[in-house]
Amino acid sequence: MIFKQHLIFILYSLCANVFKVAGTKSKAKGSQGQFPITQNVTVVEGRSANMTCRVDFNDNTSLQWSNPAQQTLFFGDKKALRDHRIELVRATSQELTIRIGDVGLSDEGLYTCSLFTMPVKTTKAFLTVLGVPGRPEITGFTKPAMEGDLITLTCTTSGSKPAANIKWYRNDKEVQGTTKTNATGKSFTVRSSLKLRVDRRDDGVAYTCHVDHVSLSNPYMTTEVLEVHYAPHLEIAKSLIIPQEGQYFKLECVSIGNPIPEPVLWSKDGGELPDIERMIVEGRELTITTLNKTDNGTYRCEASNHLGTDSAEYILFVYDPNALGQHGPDHALIGGVVAVVVFITMCLIIVLGRYLARHKGTYLTHEAKGAEDAPDADTAIINAEGNHVHAEEKKEYFI
């Protein structure tokens, strides 16, 4: 009987241990699955952010979201904080998702998801808010600038987080500016400046400020077109290369300057135009309806603006069309020059050939020395021949 009782006690203990181990494993499994999981979230200022907390296993234990100030936002499906921007998206035993609308920079920070087991388990998610930069503005330039002035263009954008990046472009070519960044609360103000010594080449040039930021799909841009005033420069353009009598002839006073130099004044040989019926002035153009020899002379145009005065001159010579037709473009003169050059060249060749023919083949020794005193080449040859008879034996040949 005692043996029976002892056997029953042993079996009871074994069963208890088995159930205890099984219960421990089940509890451990549940404990491992009951741990909240979150993810960090990045959102652009003014948009909405979804904060999600999940558990793989939950035995109907409640989930809770709290903000960086540890204020409870939602406990399960129950809203705890009166903020119309925060709303429930989903609440189940394994998930709690909330939405924060119209997110501001003040909403950034660590949010806490809590699972109310024993003990309470928590995990955190960081909400990053990107501050959108304001539209850039260019300041520091007062139109117009005078040629030679030193001006400063400053582009400013505020409210960015992180700090925005500013680039300058002169028309389509990037140029370097000087950038400064200042923190204003949680956002940044960025300024970039360009210093320029302007001249007439800068008149009408577009300087563009580009603002790039991670929150922007396309950069913000603003453009300043420079206006530079400078003194005038004048040139005269003619309608004919060779003006002839009877032709229609036009001179144009081409002026460059800002403001535009005007009015344009025409004169001839230092005085007024002599024949206003044939010489017609329209704006910057002087037209002579029918050219004749009396129109020969120096024509001058003059114009000014508030920065100075300039002038240009053109010397007009009117050709006789009949004379041009008879003589043509000097072909006869050119032909005559070519003929003279050919004749002189041929003469030189003949003289050189005769000289070589006379002196080729024979070189005399000292016995032919008498030829040196001859007044010319023919006499020298005759004198030398007299010595040849007696110097035949002493002749040397040089080729």
Q: What is the pLDDT of residues 272-313, one digit of tens each?
A: 999 989 999 999 999 999 999 999 999 999 999 999 999 999
Alpha-carbon Rg of the chain, whole angstroms?
53
Task: Specify the pLDDT at position 373.
Answer: 57
Segment (H or E) for 116: none
327, pLDDT greater than 60: no
Provide the pLDDT confidence category of residue 351 given band limits of 50, 70 and 90.
confident
Task: Specify the pLDDT at position 369.
Answer: 52
Domain map of the chain by residue range?
36-130, 137-226, 231-316
**Mean pLDDT for the chain?**
83
41, pLDDT greater than 70: yes
Category of 76 on φ-ψ map: left (φ > 0), alpha (ψ -120 to 50) or beta: left
Burial class (CB in 10 A: 0-12, 13-18, 19+), 327: exposed
Provide the pLDDT confidence category of residue 6 given band limits of 50, 70 and 90.
very low
Q: What is the CATH number of domain 231-316?
A: 2.60.40.10
Written out in words, the top-level CATH class of the domain with range 36-130 is: mainly beta
Query: Which distant-in-sequence residues (6+ apart) come within 8 Å of 43 by Cβ?
Result: 49, 103, 127, 128, 129, 130
333, pLDDT greater than 50: yes
Same fold for the domain at 36-130 and the one at 231-316?
yes
- Of 237, 283, 249, which Cα lies nearest the Cα of 264? 283
Provide the pLDDT confidence category of residue 34 given band limits of 50, 70 and 90.
confident
What average pLDDT score do residues 257-286 get? 93
Question: Beta-carbon neighbour count of residue 155 at 10 Å?
Answer: 26
Task: Specify the pLDDT at position 376.
Answer: 57
Q: What is the CATH number of domain 137-226?
A: 2.60.40.10
What average pLDDT score do residues 138-162 get? 94
212, pLDDT greater than 60: yes
What average pLDDT score do residues 214-237 get? 96
What are the C-alpha distances in Å from 54 to residues 41, 43, 93? 15, 20, 9
What are the phi and psi torsion angles at 363 (to 5°)?
-125, 120
| Overall pTM surpassing 0.85 (yes/no) | no
What average pLDDT score do residues 370-392 get? 51
Segment (H or E) for 332: helix 331-359
259, pLDDT greater than 90: yes
Task: Specify the pLDDT at position 340.
Answer: 83
Of 24-33, 144-153, 177-186, 363-372, which gets the smallest average pLDDT? 24-33
Could you tell me if 318 and 240 are in contact, meaning their C-beta atoms sit under 8 angstroms apart?
Answer: no
Q: Are strands 187-197 and 150-160 parallel, antiparallel or unpaired?
A: antiparallel
1, pLDDT greater than 70: no
